[in-house]
């Protein structure tokens, strides 16, 4: 016989509880307590916590709230509800995820800027190689730069026919298609795309070589030549573009300064 007050088991014919001295009037064992139910809020908290890893933790706040509420209800249910472990997991999973996401959110802009600067540096290196190739070409062709309508073809041997030299790494794939169309090919005869254009007015013996444009960034094409109408700043988030000048140096020209660029080449003064 179970004592209805303290729950201690006594002999069947006992009159008083051996633990608390409660008068035993029941003639049979006490009915077993009903099975505890799993808290639906605890289950929902765990499910939302797991979904947070698939939804960039949009569901995390709700999962944490439901987990806390379910813990309170389980404590106050006097054993009628269970699922404390589920509730704790529903709180812990999104909390850990958010702790991991916060540093990533802080680092992502810095990583984006670093990637942009690296692409800009590679683009500047490409233009420097084109400038060196143009100088070598001019040395072999009476001081003249390659003709504007065939410069991509004529300069190939001077930069080793490395097609990557002709492509700014920041060029959007949507503009130039897949790998072969982007110029990433080892075939020196392939007519791939190029991210740069030549200024047809450029002269090696111009009066202001440090400010006169020789090569500049443009949209994808081949043997492109022209002026400001071809220049693009889209490769670098419209902040500016890389420009090679006739003296061989490369600058990143800010978008606000593009209108000040020199496109005409005045002949150098000859001292008598």
Q: What is the CA radius of gyration of the chain?
A: 38
What is the per-residue pLDDT across 196-217, written as a single tens digit (0 to 9) for each? 999 999 988 888 999 999 999 9
What pTM was computed for the model?
0.59
Spatial CA neighbour of 134 closest among 214, 237, 211, 51: 214
Q: What is the pLDDT of residues 128-168, one digit of tens each?
A: 999 999 999 999 999 999 999 999 999 999 988 888 899 99
* Digitized pLDDT (tens) for each residue of the chain, 272 residues in all: 677 766 677 777 787 887 777 787 654 454 455 578 888 998 999 999 899 888 878 888 899 999 999 999 988 887 788 989 999 998 999 888 888 887 777 777 777 788 888 999 999 999 999 999 999 999 999 999 999 999 999 999 998 888 889 999 988 543 444 334 344 443 444 456 899 999 999 988 888 999 999 999 999 899 999 999 999 999 998 999 999 999 999 999 999 999 999 999 777 665 54
Give the Cα separation of 56 and 147 in Å (integer). 54
Ranges of each domain in the chain: 1-30, 37-103, 119-260
From the CB of residue 41, how many other CB atoms can be counted at a distance below 10 Å? 23
Q: Which residue has the tokens 């990557």?
A: 164
Q: Residue 204, Cβ neighbours under 10 Å: how many?
A: 19
Question: Is residue 95 left, alpha or beta, with left meaning phi > 0 and alpha meaning psi from -120 to 50?
Answer: alpha
Number of residues assigned to the chain: 272
Query: For helices 84-139 and 60-76, what crossing angle results, to 10°?
Result: 170
């Amino acid at each position: 016989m179970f004592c209805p007050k303290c729950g201690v088991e006594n002999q069947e014919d006992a009159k008083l509880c051996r633990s608390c001295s409660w008068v035993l009037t029941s003639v049979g064992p006490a009915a077993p307590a009903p099975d505890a139910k799993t808290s639906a809020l605890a289950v929902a908290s765990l499910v939302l916590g797991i979904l947070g890893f698939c939804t960039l933790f949009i569901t995390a706040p709700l999962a944490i709230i439901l987990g806390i509420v379910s813990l309170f209800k389980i404590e106050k249910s006097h054993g009628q509800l269970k699922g404390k472990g589920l509730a704790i997991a529903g709180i812990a999973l999104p909390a850990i995820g958010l702790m991991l996401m916060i540093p990533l959110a802080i680092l992502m802009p810095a990583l984006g800027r670093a990637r942009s600067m690296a692409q800009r540096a590679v683009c500047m290196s490409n233009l420097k190689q084109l400038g060196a190739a143009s100088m070598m070409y001019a040395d072999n062709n009476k001081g003249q730069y390659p003709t504007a309508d065939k410069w991509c073809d004529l300069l190939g041997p001077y930069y080793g026919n490395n097609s990557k030299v002709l492509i700014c790494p920041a060029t959007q794939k949507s503009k130039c298609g897949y790998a072969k169309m982007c110029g990433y090919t080892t075939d020196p005869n392939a007519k791939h795309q190029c991210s740069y254009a030549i200024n047809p007015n450029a002269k090696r013996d111009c009066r202001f070589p440090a400010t006169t444009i020789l090569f500049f960034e443009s949209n994808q094409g081949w043997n492109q030549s022209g002026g400001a109408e071809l220049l693009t700043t889209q490769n670098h988030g419209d902040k500016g573009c890389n420009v090679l000048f006739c003296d061989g140096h490369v600058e990143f020209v800010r978008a606000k300064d593009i209108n000040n660029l020199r496109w005409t080449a005045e002949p150098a003064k000859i001292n008598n």
